[in-house]
Amino acid sequence: MAEFIDLVLLAMLAITALRVIFLKDLFAVVMLFGIYSFLSALIFVNLDAVDVAFTEASVGAGISTVLMLGTLALTGRTEKKSPHSSILPLFVVLVTGGALIYGTLDMPPFGHADNPVHEHVAPRYIEQSPTEVGLPNMVTSVLASYRGFDTLGETVVVFSAMVGVLSLLGVVRREEGDTPESGLVSHQVLHVVAKLIIPLIILFALYVQFHGDFGPGGGFQAGVIAAAAFILYALVFGLPKAFAVVEPKVLQWMASFGVLLYASVGLFSMYKGGNFLDYNMLAANPLSGQHYGIIIIELGVGITVFAVMLSIFYAFGSQAERSNVQ
Amino acid sequence: MFIIDIISSILLLAGAFFGLSGAIGLFKFPDFFTRVHAASVTDSISALLIVGGLLLQTSFDLNTAKLMFILIFLMITSPTASHALAKSARHSGLLALAESKGKPQGKSTNG
Amino acid sequence: MNFILDYYNYWIVVFLMMSGFYIVISANNLVKKIVGLNIFQTSVFMLYISMGKVSGGSAPIVAEGITQYSNPLPHVLILTAIVVGVATTAVGLSLVVRIKRAYGTVEENEFENKDDAI
Amino acid sequence: MTGILAATCVAILVVMAMALSRAISAPTVYDRILGVNMFGTKTVLFIAAVGFFMGRPDFLDIAIVYALINFIGMVAVLRFFEYSAPVE
């Protein structure tokens, strides 16, 4: 049954990808890309990668799609016909694809338990992490503890993405009443429902943040979900009102604070006499030290990701609103 | 226990049936507004029935709460989304079949 | 038959990857190129996750009565890669917005011969 | 019971496939959005049902995220679609 579901979902993915190639309406392309992300997240669930599915559904299907839609509002929604012939790209793609298919024949067969991937460090993570780190969710253990330094790097990458987007676009603070048409003004029902839904979303984000040690979830996902709540508010009520709730300036402070919180945990453990990000030093008992460390760094990641995603959305949204006025 | 399984099976199958009928309606109905009608109404009822059927399978733990959350969320958002969509379509000048008198729909932006 | 069951996952992943690649090199519109890049990227994620799957295994979250878990290491790598992926997508899209502002178009053939106006 | 759950999963998959084909080739752009929305809600139900079918229903969180993101995506489509409604 699992193979059957896998096959059906992969077939749907292939059809969606093929359709994206031939569509000229970019709105439809972006919507199909959202479906593509949802479908790949479903495949991740089916392949046991629940944490990855969580991230893909919230980040890939949510934030990416919203950002692409915001860009389309600025750049126009139809693709013009390319003057170049498509023979050469097709040839390149067929040759590369053929080479890759030939390459897969040397790969270990799908799903066997004695594949090389499962033999090096993976058994240690699976067997030792529940006792060494003390968390049931192995993905969180590896992400936040064993590979904590790597995750710090990823957080810095996300932070620098915000710096890049803001230096390219900039956030324009607008005067109140400048754009009276801002937001989905005529949709009264949406206004009421959004007010009902947003607290639920924020509650769920907090649950994901602090339950990530025991189930799927963690700082990355929680940050994105919390940002999604504010994005919903900005979409329905307009950017100026969203700016009144969370100022863009505050977000920049928050993003830096999250990264610094993460790094300071590492420095604190060095001060205590351990290595950088050695959580065992944070408390008398190594297990509770691990617990404190993971909770604090996940909080740092969550704050940074929330602030970065929301300020990137602000940047795109204020561009779109400005072009709408002109 | 046995009774609960039977009830839950009936709910699940009914939910699947309504879902299928909604999908068929998406293809069969003549204009956009009737298609919204087909999709949104069956969406809500099949969500209610399937989640209800699954609720009977839980043993009143965290999963029950999560399913209740899903149910509430879907019951609020799904009709809202359909309403907003229909309203947007109406504002942009899409006509119902009776109004366009059988003429082909104006806003065909299919790529 | 066994052979197909062992490899179909990889083949479909390669197909998706090549669809994304085709969009990237043949599309004229920059936004569509970025969509193609994302499709390519997602297919790479799928390749990693396929390698981490153990048939008969379960999600790597400790629960009672489960002996075989899938490999958590690819999951960790891909989880962070997804977040970094959206960050790069955002930077790419903001470059597209700047190109639109500078040249008035995002079609590749229309601005490739213009002067450097940014 | 597993038979019934399997049948439900397959039925939802069929509905998803139909909604997908609607989203792929729709007569108007609003039909496309309708297909995408239906696909999203059915996916939520599919994850929930498959969790129970596979015997580990702990992963309903993902279904909640789907429901939430589906709604936000829908609002975003409507919002930005209204901005760029005049076709260039």
Kindly tell me if the per-residue pLDDT of A111 is higher than 90: no
The confidence score (pLDDT) of residue A160 equals 94
In degrees rounded to 5, what are phi and psi of residue C107? -90, 130
Give the DSSP H or E segment for A50.
helix A50-55
Percent of chain A with pLDDT over 70: 94
Partners of residue D83 in chain A, C-beta under 8 Å: 73, 320, 323-324
pLDDT range class, residue B109, cuts 50, 70, 90: very low
User: How big is chain C, counted in residues?
Assistant: 118
pLDDT reported for residue D88:
31
Q: Which residue has the higher pLDDT, D51 or C1?
A: D51
CATH number at residue A57: 1.20.120.1200
* Structural domain contains residue A104: no
* pLDDT over 70 at A81, yes or no: yes
Flag whether C touches B (3+ CB pairs, 8 A cutoff): no
* Nearest neighbour of A158 by CB, restricted to C17, C54, C87: C87
**Lowest mean pLDDT: which of A88-97, A313-322, B36-45?**
A313-322
Show residues of chain A in contact with B76, CB under 8 Å: 193, 196-197
> Is A153 part of any domain?
yes
What span, in angstroms and rounded, lies between the C-alpha atoms of A158 and B99? 52
Please compute, for residue A114, the number of CA atoms within 13 A of its CA located in the half-sphere on the CB side. 0
CB contact under 8 A, C80 and A151: yes
> Both A22 and A152 in a single domain?
no
**CB-based burial label for A54 (10 Å; 0-12, 13-18, 19+):** buried
Beta bridge partners, C69, equal C58
Domains held by chain A: number: 2
State whether D73 and A42 contact (CB < 8 Å): no
Q: What is the pLDDT of residue A73?
A: 85
Confidence of residue A124 (pLDDT cuts 50, 70, 90): confident
Question: With an 8 Å Cβ cutoff, are D37 and B39 in contact?
Answer: yes
Do C11 and A316 lie within an 8 Å CB cutoff? no
Give the model's pLDDT for residue A175.
Answer: 55
Give domain status of residue A92, yes or no. Answer: no
Contacts of A15 in chain D (CB under 8 A): 20, 24
Which pLDDT band holds residue A183 (cuts at 50, 70, 90)? low
Mean pLDDT of all residues belonging to chain A: 87
Answer yes or no: do D57 and B63 touch at CB < 8 A. Answer: yes
Between chains, do C42 and A37 touch, taking CB under 8 Å as contact? yes
Contact D84, A72 (CB under 8 A): yes
pLDDT of residue A167: 92
Instruction: Examine the pLDDT at A96 and tell me if it is beyond 90.
Output: yes
Which residues of chain C are under the pLDDT cut of 50?
A: 118
Average pLDDT over residues A117-123: 84
Q: What is the pLDDT of residue A200?
A: 92
Q: Do the Cβ atoms of C49 and A52 come within 8 Å?
A: yes
Arithmetic mean of pLDDT, B61-82? 90
Burial class (CB in 10 A: 0-12, 13-18, 19+), A283: middle
Judge if A187 and A277 occupy the same domain.
Answer: yes
Which chains have 3+ CB pairs within 8 A of D? A, B, C
Task: Using pLDDT thresholds of 50, 70 and 90, give the confidence band for residue B32.
Answer: confident
Which string of b and e fits B44-58 if b means at least 16 CB within 10 Å? Answer: bbbbbbbbbbbbbbb
Burial (CB < 10 A; 0-12, 13-18, 19+), residue A200, is middle
Residues A59 and A187 placed together within one structural domain of the fold: no
Beta-bridge partners for A137: C61
Residue C88 and residue C86: Cα distance in Å, rounded? Answer: 5
Count residue pairs from A and D with Cβ separation < 8 A: 132
Both A269 and A149 in a single domain?
yes
A180 in the same domain as A42:
no
Residue at a domain's end among A60, A80, A100: A80
Give the pLDDT score at A179: 52
CB within 8 Å of D86: residues ≥ 6 apart = none
Query: Which residue in this structure is represented by tokens 């956030």?
Result: A171
Token pair of A321 as six digits: 């609103």
Output the pLDDT for position B111: 35
Partner residue opposite D69 with nearest CB, options A42, A61, A187: A61
Asked if A80 lies within 8 A of C107 by C-beta distance, the reply is yes
ipTM associated with this complex:
0.91
D82 part of contact set with chain C, CB < 8 Å? no
> Is pLDDT above 70 for B106?
no
Which one, of B24, C107, A296, A317, lies nearest residue D21 by Cα?
B24
Residues B96-103 have a mean pLDDT of 66
Mean pLDDT of B18-23: 92
**Is C61 an 8 Å CB contact of chain D?**
yes
Note whether A73 and A156 are same-domain residues: no
C58 vs D: CB within 8 A: yes
Residue A143 or B99, more confident? A143
| Domain at D2-83: CATH code | 1.10.287
In this prediction, residue C18 carries a pLDDT of 94
Looking at the structure, do residues A299 and A177 belong to the same domain, yes or no?
yes
CB A285 within 8 A of CB A291: no
% helix / strand / coil in chain D, to the nearest 5?
A: 85, 0, 15
Average pLDDT of the segment spanning A255-281: 89
- Domain assignment present for residue A133? The answer is no
What residue numbers bound the domain in which A326 lies?
A: 138-326
Who among B73, B83, B110 is closest to A200 (CB)?
Answer: B73
Residue A161 in contact with residue C87, Cβ under 8 Å? yes
The verdict on a CB contact (< 8 Å) between A315 and C94 is: yes
Residue B103's φ and ψ, nearest 5 degrees, are -70, 155
What does the pLDDT read at residue B110?
40
> For the purposes of burial, counting CB atoms within 10 Å of the CB of C103, is it exposed (0-12), middle (13-18) or buried (19 or more)?
middle
Average pLDDT for D15-29? 89
Residue A60 forms contact with C (CB below 8 Å): yes
- Residue B94 binned pLDDT confidence (cut-offs 50, 70, 90): confident
Round the average pLDDT of chain C to a whole number and report it.
87
B107 near B92, Cβ under 8 Å? yes
| pLDDT over 90, % of chain A | 44
Asked if the structure places residue A60 within a domain, the reply is yes
pLDDT digits (tens, 9 = 90+) for A22-62: 888 888 899 999 999 999 999 999 888 889 999 998 888 88
Q: Which two tokens stand for residue A303?
A: 């704050």
